[in-house]
């Protein structure tokens, strides 16, 4: 038998059980080694302690200590309004049962965030299992399947989201489940079998993934629609039945939308107050940039010869791995010099079921890649603009602004990334039958091992941070609050004040003030130690009127009556960090330099303290605590010390 006929013949699949067991065991050991500090010191570490990550952790931690009767309303920030869990990037599908578990077993309360992190990290193990199933159907040999199943979960663009704290978006099994489900759908279609249960499985998986993060709704439904579109074309061309594909896809789409977006409208009493559109749509920092496919991650030690040198925003990171790029480079060189073996040519998709699936998956992912590029593609630093008419969102945007809710377009490259990496894995697996290319396959596998080792070392050192939401006794925040009778207060008002998540049309209507990370973390610690909610806020799709009411605290006339009605008679604990006003830290002053509306709010803090007759009750370095009676003090008392100008 010739090598070419061997590659096109049906290769017996490996035994799923033993291979899956070996891959999962290897991944478990690697995961335990990489995240040993977090896994073996329950409650003492978090994956990250900054940016969106600590915001999500704070939302989860404050939610878990609430009574079950509060439902999904997080009362820990945006006081007195609170915010629903669905808008805090905190994995609602996980947090709801975790809330019940912690309330049912109070001994688990200190370990709520630990259990949350266990779920997030378990995605690497689950991804390994799914990859074994996928690679088995791609006729990849057992040894290579084990290597790929262990390596790829660490090298994907979703996993890199852990570095910025996007835990829900780092849940790789969502996309791999979709690929596995499409494999089964394709096999049933090709065999002329019923497609009903396969569409039902895809519906369930899409709904569950969407309640981890709603971006999965667009990613999974979009990939399904374009994949079925390819099958429809083939069905018509080959005179196969096409109606089951149309009916199944329509039912899956409708069911997914109703059980996610439709259900959210019922669960969120404030849904009508939230904006239809979203700011940041088509922003270049949130779009996919094509050359990022060739930009190695910070941990890559072996660099690709053709590598982008410019900075890549985190929404665009999508390095195709050295395994794929060096392999593709070798194929290109061999083809250019007419040295590519005949056996290395791709088989006809109609003659090879596996080749057909790889081709259709790649074709289905291309339209999503065009979405990721945005409505306009800038060339030469904006000197030229290519209008991306192949972007489906460009046309949907003309119909409704709701499409802009999926504003971080760079995430739509993920299906393409997996299609390319899995397709190339299937292709190079054939090299084991080609004497001339066997050495190349070994070299690519060695490169895969090197990249995985570097990746795990990076995650081991760059993540796993001390759990600042449970500060040890004696830390500065504990010392600041240790004296206080915290039960007599209703909330904490941080100054400088921050509120993030509202939408806006022009600069005067932009109410967003992103906090300095150290200041934000300190306020989170204050809230966790005291048990008091914050009046500040970090979330998404926040309600503008609530932000306006909270900012009214700093108006010359004082808070809006609507806000005062929501407050009770207890005082509010005001936390002030004078370092942001006396020149030691100019973060807010520099950020708001060209934003007069928010700059005025920031600069009125000293006047607010004097006008409202706040009484300073504690000072520690640049930190001060004041008492504020928004509905009138029982005995008027001026501030005991002036605020530095």
Per-residue H/E/C for 112-155: HHHHHHHHHHHHHHHHHHHHHHHHHHCCCCHHHHHHHHHHHHHH
Q: Is residue 638 predicted with pLDDT exceeding 60? A: no
According to DSSP, residue 342 is labeled G
pLDDT tens readout for residues 361-402 = 999 999 999 999 999 988 877 788 999 999 999 999 999 999
Query: Which 3 state secondary structure label does DSSP give 623?
Result: strand
Q: Cα–Cα distance between 335 and 577 in angstroms, integer? A: 64
* Bridge partners, residue 627, by sequence: 573, 615
Nearest CA to 371 out of 404, 400, 409, 317 is that of 409
Per-residue H/E/C for 64-104: HCCCHHHCCEECCCCCCCCEEHHHCCCCHHHHHHHHHHHHH
Q: Lowest mean pLDDT of 7-16, 295-304, 457-466, name the range.
A: 7-16
- pLDDT class for 528, splitting at 50, 70, 90? very high
According to DSSP, residue 70 is labeled G
Q: Cα–Cα distance between 469 and 476 in angstroms, integer? A: 13
Q: Is residue 75 predicted with pLDDT exceeding 60? A: yes
- pLDDT class for 13, splitting at 50, 70, 90? confident
| Tokens 């309640």 -> residue | 211
Q: Is residue 1 predicted with pLDDT exceeding 60? A: no
Element at 533 (helix H, strand E)? none
Region 265-293: what's the mean pLDDT? Answer: 93
pLDDT tens readout for residues 227-255 = 999 999 999 998 999 999 999 999 999 99
pLDDT tens readout for residues 141-172 = 999 999 999 999 999 999 999 999 999 999 99
Q: Cα–Cα distance between 215 and 207 in angstroms, integer? A: 11
CB 491 within 8 A of CB 333: no
Q: Is residue 8 predicted with pLDDT exceeding 60? A: no
Tell me the pLDDT of the chain averaged across its residues: 92
What pLDDT does 640 receive?
43
Strands 499-500, 537-538: pairing is: parallel
Region 10-27: what's the mean pLDDT? Answer: 88
What pLDDT does 381 receive?
72
pLDDT tens readout for residues 554-594 = 998 889 999 999 999 999 999 999 999 999 999 999 999 99
- pLDDT class for 635, splitting at 50, 70, 90? low
Quick one: what percent of the chain has pLDDT higher than 70? 95
Q: Cα–Cα distance between 34 and 30 in angstroms, integer? A: 6
- pLDDT class for 641, splitting at 50, 70, 90? very low
Q: Cα–Cα distance between 124 and 30 in angstroms, integer? A: 10
Query: Which 3 state secondary structure label does DSSP give 212?
Result: coil
Q: Is residue 5 predicted with pLDDT exceeding 70? A: no
Extract the tokens encoding 396.
Answer: 């949907």
What pLDDT does 637 receive?
47
Q: Cα–Cα distance between 268 and 266 in angstroms, integer? A: 6
Beta strands, E only, 308-393: 376-379, 384-387
What pLDDT does 482 receive?
79
Between CA 165 and CA 167, with CA 166 as vertex, the angle to 5 degrees is 90
* Prior bond of 27 cis (ω within 30°): no
Torsion of CA 85, 88, 93, 96, to 10 degrees: -40
Region 120-135: what's the mean pLDDT? Answer: 98
Nearest CA to 469 out of 102, 53, 89, 87 is that of 53
* Prior bond of 496 cis (ω within 30°): yes
List phi, psi (to 5°) of 377.
-110, 120
Q: Lowest mean pLDDT of 91-100, 317-326, 345-354, name the range.
A: 345-354
Query: Which 3 state secondary structure label does DSSP give 377?
Result: strand
Q: Is residue 3 predicted with pLDDT exceeding 50? A: no
Query: Which 3 state secondary structure label does DSSP give 600?
Result: helix
Q: Distance between terminal CA atoms of the chain? A: 86
According to DSSP, residue 432 is labeled G
According to DSSP, residue 10 is labeled P
According to DSSP, residue 345 is labeled S
* Bridge partners, residue 513, by sequence: 499
Furthest C-alpha separation in the chain: 98
Element at 64 (helix H, strand E)? helix 51-64
Q: Cα–Cα distance between 166 and 361 in angstroms, integer? A: 26
- pLDDT class for 474, splitting at 50, 70, 90? confident
Extract the tokens encoding 241.
Answer: 């039945």
Extract the tokens encoding 387.
Answer: 């209008």
Q: Is residue 405 predicted with pLDDT exceeding 90? A: yes
* Bridge partners, residue 624, by sequence: 576, 619
Q: Is residue 507 predicted with pLDDT exceeding 70? A: yes
Q: Cα–Cα distance between 39 and 20 in angstroms, integer? A: 23
- pLDDT class for 484, splitting at 50, 70, 90? low
Q: Cα–Cα distance between 396 and 394 in angstroms, integer? A: 6
b/e map 568-606, b = 16+ CB within 10 Å: eeebbbbbbbbbbbeeebebbeebbeebeebbebbbbbb
Cα Rg for the chain, rounded, in angstroms?
A: 27
């Amino acid at each position: 038998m010739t090598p070419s006929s061997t590659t096109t013949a049906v290769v017996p699949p490996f035994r799923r059980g033993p291979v899956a067991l070996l891959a999962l065991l290897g991944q478990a050991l690697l995961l335990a080694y990489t995240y040993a500090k977090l896994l073996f010191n329950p409650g003492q570490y978090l994956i990250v302690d900054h940016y969106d990550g600590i915001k999500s952790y704070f939302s989860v931690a404050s939610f878990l200590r609430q009574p079950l009767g509060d439902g999904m309303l997080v009362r820990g920030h945006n006081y007195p309004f609170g915010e629903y869990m669905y808008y805090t990037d905190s994995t609602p599908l996980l947090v709801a049962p975790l809330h019940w578990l912690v309330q049912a077993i109070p001994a688990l309360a200190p370990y709520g965030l630990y259990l949350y992190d266990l779920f997030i990290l378990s995605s690497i193990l689950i991804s390994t299992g799914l990859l074994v199933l996928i690679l088995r159907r791609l006729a990849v040999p057992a040894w290579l399947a084990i290597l790929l199943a262990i390596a790829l979960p660490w090298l994907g663009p979703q996993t890199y989201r852990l570095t910025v704290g996007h835990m829900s978006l780092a849940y790789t099994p969502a996309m791999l489940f979709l690929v596995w489900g499409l494999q089964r759908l394709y096999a049933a279609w090709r065999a002329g079998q019923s497609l009903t249960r396969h569409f039902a499985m895809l519906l369930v998986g899409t709904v569950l993934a969407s309640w981890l993060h709603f971006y999965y709704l667009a990613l999974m439904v979009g990939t399904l629609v374009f994949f079925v579109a390819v099958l429809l074309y083939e069905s018509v061309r080959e005179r196969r039945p096409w109606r089951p594909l149309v009916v199944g896809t329509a039912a899956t789409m409708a069911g997914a939308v109703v059980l996610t977006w439709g259900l959210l409208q019922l669960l969120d009493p404030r849904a009508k107050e939230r904006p239809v559109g979203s700011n940041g749509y088509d922003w270049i920092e949130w779009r996919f940039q094509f050359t990022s496919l060739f930009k190695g991650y910070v941990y890559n030690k072996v660099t690709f010869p053709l590598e982008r040198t410019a900075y890549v925003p985190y929404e665009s990171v999508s390095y195709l791995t050295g395994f794929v790029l060096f392999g593709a480079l070798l194929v290109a060189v061999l083809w250019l010099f007419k040295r590519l073996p005949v056996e290395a040519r791709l088989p006809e998709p109609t003659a090879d079921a596996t080749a057909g699936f790889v081709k259709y998956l790649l074709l289905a992912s291309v339209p999503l890649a065009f979405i990721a590029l945005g409505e306009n593609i800038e060339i030469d630093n904006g000197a030229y603009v290519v209008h991306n008419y192949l972007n489906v969102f460009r046309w949907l945007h003309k119909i409704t602004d709701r499409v802009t809710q999926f504003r971080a377009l760079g995430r739509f490259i993920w299906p393409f990334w997996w299609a390319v990496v899995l397709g190339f894995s299937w292709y190079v697996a054939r090299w084991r039958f080609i004497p001339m290319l066997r050495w190349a396959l070994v070299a690519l596998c060695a490169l895969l091992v090197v990249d995985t080792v570097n990746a795990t070392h990076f995650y081991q050192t760059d993540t796993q941070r001390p759990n600042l939401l449970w500060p040890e006794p004696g830390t500065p925040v504990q010392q600041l609050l240790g004296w206080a009778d915290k039960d007599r207060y209703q909330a904490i008002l941080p100054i400088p004040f921050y509120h993030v998540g509202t939408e806006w049309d022009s600069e005067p209507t932009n109410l967003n003030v992103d906090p300095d990370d150290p200041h934000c973390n300190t306020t989170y610690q204050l809230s966790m130690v005291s048990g008091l909610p914050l009046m500040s806020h970090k979330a998404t799709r926040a309600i503008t009127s609530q932000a306006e009411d909270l900012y009214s605290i700093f108006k010359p006339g004082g808070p809006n009556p609507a806000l005062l009605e929501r407050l009770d008679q207890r005082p509010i604990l005001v936390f002030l960090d004078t370092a942001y006003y006396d020149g030691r830290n100019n973060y807010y002053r520099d950020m708001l330099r060209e934003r007069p509306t928010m700059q005025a709010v920031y600069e009125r803090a000293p006047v607010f303290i004097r006008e409202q007759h706040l009484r300073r009750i504690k000072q520690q370095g640049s930190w001060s605590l004041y008492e504020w009676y928004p509905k009138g003090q029982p005995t008027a008392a001026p501030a005991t010390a002036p605020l530095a100008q």
